[in-house]
Amino acid sequence: MNPYNVETAPPCTLFLFGANGDLVKRLLMPALYNLSRDGLLDRNLRIVGVDHNAATGAEFAERLAAFMRERDKAAADSAQSLDPKRWARLAKRIDYLTGDFLDPDTYQAIAKHIGRSRNGNAIFYLATAPRFFADVVQRLGDGGLLNETEGFRRVVIEKPFGSDLASAELLNACLLRVMSEKQIYRIDHYLGKETVQNILVSRFSNGLFEAFWNNHYIDHVQITAAETVGVEERAAFYDHTGALRDMVPNHLFQLLAMVAMEPPAAFGADAVRSEKAKVIGAIRPWSKAMALKNSVRGQYTEGRQGRKKLKGYRDEPRVAADSQTETYVALKVMIDNWRWVGVPFYLRTGKRMSVRDTEIAICFKPAPYAQFRDSDAERPKPNYLKIQIQPNEGMWFDLQAKRPGPALAMENVELGFAYKDFFNMRPATGYETLIYDCLIGDQTLFQRADNIENGWRAVQPFLDAWKEGGEVHAYAAGEDGPVAADELLARERRVWHRLG
């Protein structure tokens, strides 16, 4: 039953605040089902949805099952199908609590649920709008629900964790007034992806990499999160947030930290998170003028994807007609430490781009001497190590090889592996590892307060500079961002790695 040969998570009561929201039905409940399928959940785990809409536990469970059945119809892989018997066993453990997040009676009802369990363990997962984070945590504290005398008590908080440095510091202060850092699980679902976790394994378990993982051999690093979708149902949130806040201080900086961190003393939570916090803290704080120079904002306009006509951002429902919100951002950041001094890190993320692709492209410096004078191969191309997070998870290294024939001509070839070709990849949402780690109390893949604040500290100069000026460049939906983003690299004789 358990294919991973790891311990079953201990029993607890898992409270899902915002139970009727998209996150619970699309990701959290399918992840819990997959954990149950793999034998990683204790039989005494209880799942309690908490929301203001009236429902019974049976009704809540059936709504979740109905969504997953609809999902299965659209899935090409039959391995993702909901098994009725497995679901029935899990559904027996699902309950629902109707309550307002700001009503003290809700928290008294939660206490009764914990009291009826066979243990005092509880996890409170805040799958709510960010405006409720501080209020819910404060009320959990006021109700004595974060006291660990009778079992562990943990709080999971989704992004966005603040909207700037000041709000992140304020939220951290609020949390730490009522509980300790070891009880807080600030989640970033990118860190649940196998390829992201493999960055650390590849770096620190292969002697080949460490020798050239520094500014002597690496010219620059590119980190990309490209999406083909638009804002979809998130327009009301997104138009007040934008691509920078939505993606950079969390997802992209976490990928940067994995690439750039120093080897930890041990692979425990504190050691790993300390090294990540150090490298994010070493990002150079740009002046406003330099922040404008080293950033590009874009917003998609009407375009096409194949034969499909796509709306412009300002034509999307619930988006202001004169919106200046960026749907694309490209940044250049520098890390001021011994290993990375002089190596630029280029970050880009955008919606309505040509392909869906999350990748890290590490560009190595070219060979120091042109051996092939007076031939077509006189100027070899730089080598790239590409780590693809999604959709085709894997790692590839490209190098130059001679093309067969009488002429000295070079061809770019790739060496590498795709996860699906080497491993039996079980259907997953990306949340399984993170939920399991929270259940067993492993904080390695969760962000600590200093990591969060260092990320916002690095982003704040861009936010401040954009308040005072700078252009939002247009790009057609279905393209790979505005021309100005190409120019950001071209001025230093570099180009973006081709997507896909």
Q: Does the annotation place 193 within a ligand binding site?
A: yes
Q: Does the annotation place 67 within a ligand binding site?
A: no
Q: Does the annotation place 52 within a ligand binding site?
A: no
Q: Does the annotation place 73 within a ligand binding site?
A: no
Q: Does the annotation place 101 within a ligand binding site?
A: yes
Torsion of CA 281, 287, 292, 296, to 10 degrees: -10
Are the beta carbons of 218 and 363 closer than 8 angstroms? yes
Are the beta carbons of 187 and 159 closer than 8 angstroms? yes
Q: Does the annotation place 100 within a ligand binding site?
A: yes
Count Cβ neighbours within 10 Å for each residue of 232-258 and write b for 16 or more, e otherwise. Answer: eebbeebbebbbbbbbbbbbbbbbbbb
Are the beta carbons of 57 and 92 closer than 8 angstroms? no
Enumerate the active-site residues.
251
Annotated binding site for NADP(+): 100-101, 159
Which residue positions form the known binding site for substrate? 189, 193, 227, 246, 351
Extract the annotated binding site.
Answer: 100-101, 159, 189, 193, 227, 246, 351
